[in-house]
Amino acid sequence: MGLKFSAQDVRGIYNIIPTPATPNAHHIDADDTVNYEATYKLVNMLIDEGVDAILTNGTFGEGATLTEKEHIAFVAKVIETAGGRVPVFAGATTLNTRDTIRRGKLFREMGATGLFLGRPMWCECDDNTIVGFYSDIATALPDTPLIIYDNPEAFKGKLSPRVYSRLAGIPNIIASKYIAIGPQYLDDVEACGDSIRLLPLDSDWYYARKWVGEKAPACWTGSGNCGMAVLRALKKAIESGDDAYALEITRDIRYTYKTLFPHGSFKLFSLYNIPLEKARFDAAGLVEAGPARPPYHHVPQDYLEGAREAGRRWAEINKKYSG
């Protein structure tokens, strides 16, 4: 069984990892496409460099395109490598409640701290279906901490304050990956109370802190895969209240993201999330993310180049903050 973990323990840098792939992973007849050595190196790098938690198998972590066997083997490798040094939240999003329960139960038995969970997306879920889904998971896996994965493009809609206030009554749920702090963020934070921590993106974290202070004790990121020094510096600046420095780092981070989103569009990015993020990580040089698995290996070349530039930029600022 994994570690105990509550909303009050959520703090720092929550980094989502890709599922490193063997060079042939974009072929339909490839089998066992997990690059275990790259996984081992990635997890160790993150922990050595100060990550606070590791999350697996979101969108770019290819929750959709791994076979069940690969998925389980990958999570096993991550948990084994982490060895309890940091909490591991294993992605277990599937097309339905029962598959998620079965897979989540297995991950917990394998030692996962908790689960990182999007909702079924074949049909869009209404409020009752969303709350029912997470509630059913919590009932079936009573001691399992859950981090919600709320991606409006993937799961066909954004959680509302009304839903958050109902989810706040489910003790297992400790946090939610938050997409963009905007008009609704304040209402969502209020709806969550102290039961659920909303995790802004790294580049939004400083701004979230200015609005809600201690209610934003952690951020999510995928950029740890490009280098942790920037994020370590950001965390220190934010926690020590060094606003000027936190803002400088934030601006540097935003500079790296400018080329990641095709035409500045999150919707467009969402079509190519997987190959773009993997190309970005590869370009930064610290991880061998490898090719995207089918069918999501098609991507316009100029978008890909933008992603690579984003990776190179991160590597550049990571050097600046490594000193």
CB nearer to its own copies: pick between 145 and 200? 200
Region near its own copies per CB under 8 A, out of 78-86, 106-114, 167-175, 291-299: 291-299
Q: Which H or E element spans position 192?
A: helix 185-192
Q: Is residue 56 a contact partner of residue 104, using CB atoms and an 8 Å limit?
A: no
Question: Which is nearer to its own copies, 121 or 168 (by Cβ)?
Answer: 121
Compute the least distance from the CB of residue 12 to its own copies, in Å: 22
Q: Is 186 in the site for its own copies (CB under 8 A)?
A: yes
Query: Looking at beta carbons only, is 210 or 319 nearer to its own copies?
Result: 210
Residue number with CB closer to its own copies (20 or 200):
200
- With CA atoms as reference, report the closest residue to 203 among 47, 310, 48: 310
* Cβ neighbour number for residue 48 with a 10 Å cutoff: 10
Encoded tokens for 170? 């489910």
Alpha-carbon dihedral 87, 92, 98, 103, rounded to 10 degrees: -70
- Number of chain residues interacting with its own copies (CB under 8 A): 59
Q: Which amino acid is at 221?
A: T
Distance in angstroms (rounded) separating the CA atoms of residues 50 and 320 = 17
Binding-site member from 4, 298, 319, 320 for its own copies (CB under 8 A)? 298
Interacting residues of 132 by C-beta distance below 8 A, sequence separation 6+: none
Closest Cα partner for 303 from 267, 254, 269? 269
Q: Which is nearer to its own copies, 41 or 297 (CB)?
A: 297
Based on the shown chain and the rule CB under 8 A, indicate whether residue 106 belongs to the binding site for its own copies: no
Q: Which of 36, 207, 245, 255 binds its own copies (CB under 8 A)?
A: 207
| Residue 219 bridge partners (DSSP) | 13
Element (H, E) at 34: none
> Is residue 105 flagged as an active site residue?
no
How many whole angstroms separate alpha carbon 58 and alpha carbon 19?
A: 10
Is 164 an annotated catalytic residue?
A: no
Cβ atoms < 10 Å from Cβ of 298? 11
Query: Binding residue for its own copies (CB under 8 A) from 13, 21, 46, 64?
Result: 64
Site for its own copies in 138-177 (CB under 8 A): 139-140, 153-154, 156, 160-161
From the list 134, 149, 185, 296, the catalytic residue is: 149
Residues marked active site are found at 149, 177
Q: Which residues bind its own copies (CB under 8 A)?
A: 28-30, 59, 63-67, 94-99, 101-102, 119-126, 128-129, 132-133, 136, 139-140, 153-154, 156, 160-161, 180-183, 186, 204, 207, 210-211, 254, 264, 270-274, 293-298
